[in-house]
A and B are shown apart, each in its own frame.
Chain A
Amino acid sequence: MPVAPDPSDRFSQFAHPERLVSTDWLQERLGDPGLVIAESDEDVLLYETGHIPGAVKIDWHTDLNDPVERDFLDGQSLAKLLGEKGISPDTTIVLYGDKSNWWAAYALWVLTLFGHKDVRLLDGGRAKWISEGRELTIDPTRPATAEYPVLERNDESNRAWRSDVLAHLGSPLVDVRSPEEYSGERTEIPGYPAEGALRAGHIPSAQSVPWARAAEEDGTFKSRSALEAIYQTEKGLKPNDSVITYCRIGERSSHSWFVLKYLLGFEDVRNYDGSWTEWGSSVGVPIILGTEPGAVPEKWRRN
């Protein structure tokens, strides 16, 4: 049975408060049999240096990506992975990680593609847990293996492919990269040049909202009114718009996808994980340079 949601007042303002849990809530439920805590970090060894007691590790790259093709793991591999982590279809999964939950949000998005029902984020992630002086352990977690069925990934509702983006041009796009990447001054996030693309700039008409604007200093999400002021008032997005988010490989934009879908309640949000590393290296797709969103060129206008 899924675990009852965190009833914190802080979360009740959001469209889907059941998608967030607080550190207090989690602390009280360590060891709860219906709950599996999973850590997803940028650094593949960070979990080993200390993790929340009982938490398992899900690495975004070595666990969730196919080792050969540029795509996610298939249903069979996911069933094996989750089964080994002690997760069954009715398990409540709470994800947390470093970097204000970038990678935890990415893991949550991938699990959503497979239709896992109850997957939540620990608001504030790993840094908040540590800053509050809560316990970490280096003891390995050895969960009892669970049965997870082979599910087919369904990309339709939450994932955009390059062809979907081309067909979407003219409808709202949100570019969550740094201002320098958006304007085309550089193809890579400062500090991540290994994942460059051949061309720099952004997708025509995409609005620039760097992902971190949705987070407070301590890594927790901003209030609903603060988020509405950014995405709705400032950028003019409407909750019934069809929106596609993108970044460089789809991880920062998973964070913004989470914000739009679950905190603001947008009905149709898809994450384009091909993102700039695909678009910026694709032949014949339109690109805009500079700080303005720019217009969709005539030949690409569909909407």
Chain B
Amino acid sequence: MAPQLNEVPARLAEIREEFLEMDPSDRLLLLLDYSNALPELPDRLSQHPGLLEQVVECQSSVFLLAEVDEDQKVRLFATAPAEAPTTRGFASILVQGLDGLEVGEVLAIPEDFPQSLGLTALVSPLRIRGMTAMLGRTKRQVREQLES
């Protein structure tokens, strides 16, 4: 069945619930857990960082690459420095929530998903925009590969 427009995929919805169930004061620590759990890049990418696209909307250097495999599933890779744990946390949520999803599921993720995590007031609206930009770039990269 084709996913509904603007539907949050199950894994991302679970991550959101995980944040919203927590006391606001603990949500930043959960974001830090995600930050620490950002998967390493596979060798083929870590040795060729030029393959990843810089998310210039983020305050620190974060790079990401979305690939569509032969089964029409999205593979998402991201890297961000340890000195930017908030950005790393955002990247990690997206990688863990999106990687392996169907193309249609990724494209249907609402643009405002980052604002729904209950983090906006804790990290500031300014900082949450970096995650919105990462999601936007991921979707754009997926669309470009479908068109080519």
- Write the residues of chain A forming the contact surface with B, with a CB cutoff of 8 angstroms: 42-46, 48-49, 61-62, 67, 98, 190-195
Determine if B5 is an interface residue (Cβ-Cβ < 8 Å).
Answer: no
Would A46 and B83 count as touching, CB distance under 8 A? Answer: yes
Determine if B126 is an interface residue (Cβ-Cβ < 8 Å).
Answer: yes
Q: What residue in chain B is nearest A189 (Cβ atoms)?
A: B59
Would B60 and A62 count as touching, CB distance under 8 A? Answer: no
Bound complex: CA A62 to CA B127 (Å): 11
Query: Which of B28, B31, B32, B124 is close to A61, meaning CB atoms less than 8 Å apart?
Result: B124
Q: What residue in chain A is nearest B132 (Cβ atoms)?
A: A194
Would A48 and B32 count as touching, CB distance under 8 A? Answer: yes
Residues in B whose Cβ lies below 8 Å from that of A98:
83
- Return A115 CB to nearest CB of chain B, in Å: 26
Given A42-B59, A192-B59, does the pair A48, B29 have CB atoms closer than 8 Å? yes
Q: What residue in chain A is nearest B85 (Cβ atoms)?
A: A45
Would A45 and B124 count as touching, CB distance under 8 A? Answer: no
Would A194 and B126 count as touching, CB distance under 8 A? Answer: yes
What are 23 A-B pairs at a CB distance below 8 A? A43-B60, A43-B84, A44-B28, A44-B123, A44-B124, A44-B127, A45-B28, A45-B32, A45-B89, A46-B84, A46-B85, A48-B29, A48-B32, A49-B32, A49-B82, A61-B124, A61-B127, A62-B121, A67-B121, A191-B56, A191-B58, A193-B57, A194-B130
Determine if B138 is an interface residue (Cβ-Cβ < 8 Å).
Answer: no
- Return B122 CB to nearest CB of chain A, in Å: 7
Bound complex: CA A194 to CA B124 (Å): 12
Number of B positions contacting A (CB below 8 A): 26
Bound complex: CA A192 to CA B58 (Å): 6
- Write the residues of chain B forming the contact surface with A, with a CB cutoff of 8 angstroms: 28-29, 31-32, 35, 56-61, 82-87, 89, 121-124, 126-127, 129-130
Q: Besides the contacts A49-B82, A191-B59, A194-B126, what 15 more A-B pairs have beta carbons closer than 8 Å?
A: A42-B59, A43-B85, A43-B87, A44-B124, A44-B127, A45-B89, A46-B86, A49-B35, A61-B126, A61-B127, A62-B122, A67-B121, A190-B56, A191-B61, A195-B126
- Return A98 CB to nearest CB of chain B, in Å: 7
- Return A287 CB to nearest CB of chain B, in Å: 24
Bound complex: CA A42 to CA B6 (Å): 32
The 4 closest A-B pairs by CB, nearest first: A45-B85, A61-B124, A194-B129, A45-B86
Bound complex: CA A195 to CA B58 (Å): 11
Bound complex: CA A52 to CA B122 (Å): 23
Query: Which of B35, B57, B61, B129 is close to A45, meaning CB atoms less than 8 Å apart?
Result: B35
Would A194 and B57 count as touching, CB distance under 8 A? Answer: yes
Bound complex: CA A221 to CA B122 (Å): 32
Bound complex: CA A193 to CA B130 (Å): 10
Would A45 and B31 count as touching, CB distance under 8 A? Answer: yes
Would B86 and A43 count as touching, CB distance under 8 A? Answer: yes
